[in-house]
Amino acid sequence: MNERASQSPLRLTVVTETYPPEINGVANTMRHLVEGFRDRGHQLHLVRPRQAGERAGHLAAPIEQTLVPGVPIPGYRGLRLGLPVYWRLRRLWGRQRPDLIYIATQGPLGHAALAAAVALRVPAVTGFHTQFQQYSRHYGLGFLTRQITNTLRHFHNRSDATLVPTAELRAELTAAGFTNVQVFGRGVDVTLFAPTRRLEALRASWGCGPDDLAVLYVGRVAAEKNLELARETFAAIEMQQPSARFVLVGDGPALAGLHRDHPRFICTGARVGEDLAAHYASGDLFLFPSLTETFGNVVTEAMASALPVVAFDYAAAHAAIVSGVNGVTAPMGDRAGFVAAGLSAIQDRGRLRALGEAARRTALHMSWERVLGGVEQLLYEVIRRRQGDPEPTPAAAAVPE
């Protein structure tokens, strides 16, 4: 009998302040986590803020939910912070105790959920999905970086384990004093994101003929994404290939200014599902200059679409790209190196296609099923450890104000 067959299904609660149809990497990962564990036979309960104007039935299949009040996040249109409903969660979990609570976000709802879990002595695992301490530098708050790091460390160290997407980030956080950091890798949907979704009609709408170069960026259009470097790289590419087009897929606070200052750029707004997959597959080169990712799901989505990626050598790019084989990377923070990487990729269209084909082959080995199997075993181990520790945690008395 295999190990999984001998383990009972779990009652799992996932607490997150973002979930589809909201569009971001954390929401996407939470959907795969919730639906994947449900499909593996576990009982899932989702706790999240009620979304503004959300429509009924957007979940792929019925999942038990508790919706809590939320408030808009300044600068993040469409996203909401959950309010700190500590007593509501404590009553809920006191009546129907989960085997384990996974807390994906560090907002007021996440803090309340962790405090309630600790008070009830329910095993709790937190996710480190966003580099908040790095974002501060892009919004004139760099002086708060150390304070934010300290706050995050205090939060995560009260949980039984903290899950991060890469071994690289695990080493970084461990060196910063975070304890019991484990890797929760990322998969990619290679059926949705595939080169067969390429559409010549979509390319034509961008002004690209069959032999013209379409350069893509997909993601949030915001200061922390380092898009000035993408613009600089495309300008260098355009000098060599004047018919090239730069297509930006996504939304964010910098979108209006970017479109105003660069009217020739094609700004499509946010895209989802098969529409997003067609945009990836219809491109020829993907520029991803961000320096603030915990992973960067767009990198593996582009690779699955046979779209060669130019990125800095960290996070998803470090984990998945062998530079010059299935993409091109530059040393972390090397702006000139990034521009040079973009230029090198376009010199030979045959090589560019070969990079994309190799990227697709790499993505085919990055299944969500394998990723979730590893996380499942980690959660069982957390529960086993807690069952062997009858003493209450010192933080059990902590109650948020």
Residue 56 pLDDT grade (very low, low, confident, very high; cuts 50, 70, 90): very low
Identify the pLDDT of residue 160: 97
pLDDT higher than 50, residue 37: yes
Walk across the sheet containing 181-183 and list its strands.
64-68, 43-49, 11-15, 100-103, 124-127, 161-164, 181-183
Q: What is the spatial distance between Cα 205 and Cα 196, in angstroms, rounded to a whole number?
A: 18
Please report, for residues 88, 123, 155, 157, 164, the alpha-carbon distance to residue 97 in angstroms, rounded to integers and kept in the order given.
13, 10, 22, 22, 26
Tokens of 237: 């590419």
Termini Cα distance of the chain: 49
Block residue for tokens 């996932």: 14
The CATH code of domain 195-363 reads 3.40.50.2000
pLDDT higher than 60, residue 136: no
58-67, 160-169, 323-332, 344-353: the lowest-pLDDT one? 58-67
Residue 246 pLDDT grade (very low, low, confident, very high; cuts 50, 70, 90): very high
Is the separation of the CB atoms in 355 and 308 below 8 Å? yes
Tokens of 121: 């002595």
Identify the pLDDT of residue 185: 87
Helices (H) and strands (E) in the chain, counts: 15, 15
Please report, for residues 4, 166, 212, 280, 367, the alpha-carbon distance to residue 198 in angstroms, rounded to integers and kept in the order given.
39, 30, 14, 8, 22
232-236, 298-302, 366-370: the lowest-pLDDT one? 366-370
Q: What is the spatial distance between Cα 254 and Cα 267, in angstroms, rounded to a whole number?
A: 11
The predicted-structure confidence for 256-292, as pLDDT tens digits, reads as follows 999 899 999 999 999 999 999 999 999 999 999 999 8
The closest of 379, 13, 48, 316 to 187, measured between CA atoms, is 316
**Strand 161-164 and strand 328-330: pairing?**
unpaired
Identify the pLDDT of residue 95: 96
| Length of the chain, in residues | 401
Extended strands (E) in 105-242: 124-127, 161-164, 181-183, 214-218
The CATH 3.40.50.2000 portion of the chain extends over 4-187+367-397, 195-363
Q: pTM to 2 decimals?
A: 0.85
The mean pLDDT value for 145-160 works out to 86
The mean pLDDT value for 314-328 works out to 96
Residue 236 pLDDT grade (very low, low, confident, very high; cuts 50, 70, 90): very high
The count of C-alpha atoms lying within 13 angstroms of the C-alpha of 166, restricted to the half-sphere facing its C-beta, is 17
**Strand 76-82 and strand 70-73: pairing?**
antiparallel
The closest of 202, 190, 120, 114 to 159, measured between CA atoms, is 114
Q: Which long-range contacts (CB under 8 A, 24 or more apart) does 147-152 make?
A: 149/176, 152/106, 152/128
The predicted-structure confidence for 72-100, as pLDDT tens digits, reads as follows 776 666 667 789 999 999 999 999 999 99
The mean pLDDT value for 359-363 works out to 98
Helix, strand or coil, per DSSP, at residue 214: strand
The mean pLDDT value for 190-211 works out to 96
CATH code 3.40.50.2000 for 4-187+367-397: yes
pLDDT higher than 70, residue 141: no
Tokens of 117: 């879990």
Is the separation of the CB atoms in 125 and 103 below 8 Å? yes
Please report, for residues 50, 58, 78, 400, the alpha-carbon distance to residue 53 in angstroms, rounded to integers and kept in the order given.
9, 12, 9, 30
Residue 364 pLDDT grade (very low, low, confident, very high; cuts 50, 70, 90): very high
Helix, strand or coil, per DSSP, at residue 244: coil
The closest of 92, 163, 172 to 124, measured between CA atoms, is 163
Identify the pLDDT of residue 78: 61
DSSP state of 397: G
**Could you tell me what percent of the chain has a pLDDT over 90?**
73
